A = this chain, B = another copy of it.
Amino acid sequence: MTTRKLGRGVAVVGAGMSRFGTFKDHDTRDLFVEAFREMRASVDKGLDPGAIEALFIGNYSSELFEGQGHTAPIMADWTGLTPRPATRVEDACASSGVALRQGIMAIASGLHDVVLVGGIEKMSNLPITNVTDTLATAGDVLYEIPAGFTFPGFYAAMATAYMHRYGASPDALLRVGIKNHDNGKLNPKAQFQSRIADLMAARMAKALQKGLPPPGWADEMDFLRDDAANPMIAWPLRLFDCSPVTDGASALLLVSDDLARSFSDNPIYIIGTGQASDAALHDRPELTGLAAAQLAGRQAYDMAGVTPRDIKIAEVHDCFTIAEIIATEDLGFFAPGQGHEAAEEGLTARHGPRPVNTSGGLKSKGHPVGASGAAQVVEVWKQMRGEAGERQVARDVDLALTHNVGGTGQTCVVHIFERR
């Protein structure tokens, strides 16, 4: 692998996102405008939208979710950016992570100086079974979907293989969910703002209110192990191991590094980018790691000239709890087979030695698939600038990483950010 250098440096000087959740009265356009406005307000020295030269919009399937294709120029129109070139990028749930990479290349190429990167998805219009079918089109429709696979099934297969190989317990998965809900409670943009303990207490209160015998859960783990409270979706994945159906949008402003200080008092520089592809899950030699994530990570570390040890916080793609455990290994935070122990020991907690998904992650913040990659950068932006409010980590975050996965890892894209 040759280490690559960009023709010129790129910085993030603005970042915003819509509230994540399910919004019956909003469509993609409204959500993107909401994200764009927050991004604009985050630019320290103000943003004249006329300075924006191009848009790169990550979106998985506005066609299937909303019946609308050709979404990128609509986003330009609704943010007042017509006639700027507007390009939609699609790599399933990695769409806006890959859109970010297009934005970086657009600036590094010399073609543009100021670029808007966005992500959008409006998933809640469809009934849940249709959402599942729509997401399944990110698998292989010739070889996987006819065999009955949907995404919980794919990740359950990975979880089963992982547990078998490394002797991991399903408890490790539940710990990831507990941690991410702990973080999401402190994120005002998150879809779920309840700790698992809060949910348990609410259930207990409800039972008492109805005059029923109080459920005998000893603690959060006991609650999550209860089939009634946390139903099995695809063994060993339960409801609280799965990210939800979410509507949302995200927006980032990128500029060439020489312009960064004219937009921002505290720009965040992108010092590493990596992307790789893989065959669909049925055609891989192993299921306990994502080769594309490992490769994208190595590319990003090499370009940045840093090691996994240097990274202060990471937002990783926890579409299912097992995915977070595997990600922490693929990225070199923990050795293969040790991610589950790290999760059980709390090493990835917000104030642990290796904070992962301080935003709440896809699990608690929500997962509007095409918007998630750029939304990860919103969290990194806030944490690096000390603007993450109640969930701000104690350490100084001078280096951070985002890890965004498409499908079952047919696409992985990793970015590394530096505050100078």
| Interface residue A12 (Cβ < 8 Å from any Cβ of B) | no
A245 within 8 A of B: no
Inter-chain contact A86/B7, CB cutoff 8 Å: no
| A76 contact set on B, CB distance < 8 A | 277
- Find A137's partner among B70, B82, B89, B411 (CB 8 Å cutoff): B70
A374 — which chain B residues lie within 8 A by C-beta? none
The 8 A CB mask of A86-116 against B (1 = contact, 0 = none) is 1111111000001001101111111110000
Q: How far is the CB of A67 from chain B (nearest CB, A)?
A: 5
Q: What CA separation (Å) do A157 and B114 show in the bound complex?
A: 36
The reply to whether A77 and B137 form a contact with Cβ atoms under 8 Å apart is no
Chain B: which residue is nearest A413 at the CB level?
B85
Whether the Cβ atoms of A279 and B77 lie closer than 8 Å is yes
Is A67 touching B137 in the complex (CB atoms < 8 A)? Answer: yes
Instruction: Name the one of B66, B84, B90, B98 contacting A69, with C-beta atoms under 8 angstroms.
Output: B90
Surface stretch bound by B, among A57-65, A208-216, A340-348: A57-65
- Please give me the residue from chain B that is nearest to A408 by CB atom: B70
Interchain nearest-CB distance for A217 vs B (Å): 39
The answer to whether A141 touches B68 (Cβ under 8 A) is yes
Contact with B along A35-75 (1 / 0, CB 8 A): 00000000000000000001100001101101111101110
User: Which 8 pairs from chain A and chain B are nearest by CB?
Assistant: A108-B109, A85-B275, A73-B410, A69-B137, A73-B277, A70-B92, A7-B7, A7-B110
Q: Is the CB of B6 within 8 A of A111?
A: yes
Which A275-304 residues have C-beta < 8 A from chain B? 275-280, 283, 291-292, 295-296
* Residue with the greatest number of chain B CB neighbours at <10 A, chosen from A5, A84, A90, A273: A90
A111 to B70 alpha-carbon distance, docked (Å): 27
Which residues of the other chain, B, contact A138 by a CB distance below 8 angstroms? 69-70
Give the complex CA separation of A275 and B92 in angstroms: 24
Report Cα–Cα, A15/B92, bound state, in Å. Answer: 28
- Pair B111/A68 contact, Cβ less than 8 Å: no
The CA-CA distance from A24 to B295 in the complex, in Å, is 38
Asked if A171 is at the interface of the complex by the 8 Å CB criterion, the answer is no
Which single residue of chain B is at the shortest CB-CB distance from A99?
B87
For A60, list chain B residues within 8 Å (CB): 69
CB contacts under 8 Å to B, within A303-321, are none
Q: B87 near A91 (CB under 8 angstroms)?
A: yes
The answer to whether A148 has its CB under 8 Å from any CB of chain B is: no
Residues of chain B with a CB closer than 8 A to A8's CB? 7
**Nearest CB in chain B: distance from A404 CB, A:** 12
Q: Report A218-238 residues with CB < 8 Å from chain B CB.
A: none
**A126 CB → nearest B CB, Å:** 13
Shortest A31–chain B CB gap in Å is: 14
Which listed residue (B66, B275, B406) contacts A141, Cβ 8 A? Answer: B66
Which residue of chain B lies nearest to A292 when distances are taken between CB atoms in the complex?
Answer: B83
A407 at the interface (CB under 8 A from B): yes
Evaluate whether A74 and B410 lie within 8 angstroms (CB atoms) in the complex, with A87-B89, A102-B87, A141-B66 already known: yes
Residue contact B70 to A411, C-beta cutoff 8 Å: yes
> Beyond A72-B411, A92-B69, is A82–B7 a contact (Cβ under 8 Å)?
no
Indicate if the CB atoms of A291 and B137 lie closer than 8 Å. no
Let me know if A398 is at the binding interface, CB within 8 A: no
Contact A88 B87 (CB under 8 A): no
State in angstroms the CA–CA spacing of A85 and B89 once bound together.
13
User: Cβ of A278: which chain B residues have Cβ within 8 Å of it?
Assistant: 73, 82-83
* Given A69-B90, A85-B276: A74 in contact with B4 (beta carbons within 8 A): no
Chain B residue nearest to A56 (CB atoms) is B102
Q: Are B98 and A109 in contact (CB under 8 A)?
A: no
Tell me which of B86, B91, B273 contacts A277 (CB under 8 A).
B86
**In the complex, which residue of chain B has the Cβ closest to the Cβ of A59?**
B90
- A409's closest neighbor in chain B, by CB? B73
Provide the bound-state CA to CA distance between A31 and B55, in Å: 30
Contact of A4 among B67, B77, B111 (CB under 8 A): B111
The CA of A28 and the CA of B185, in the complex, are separated in Å by 44
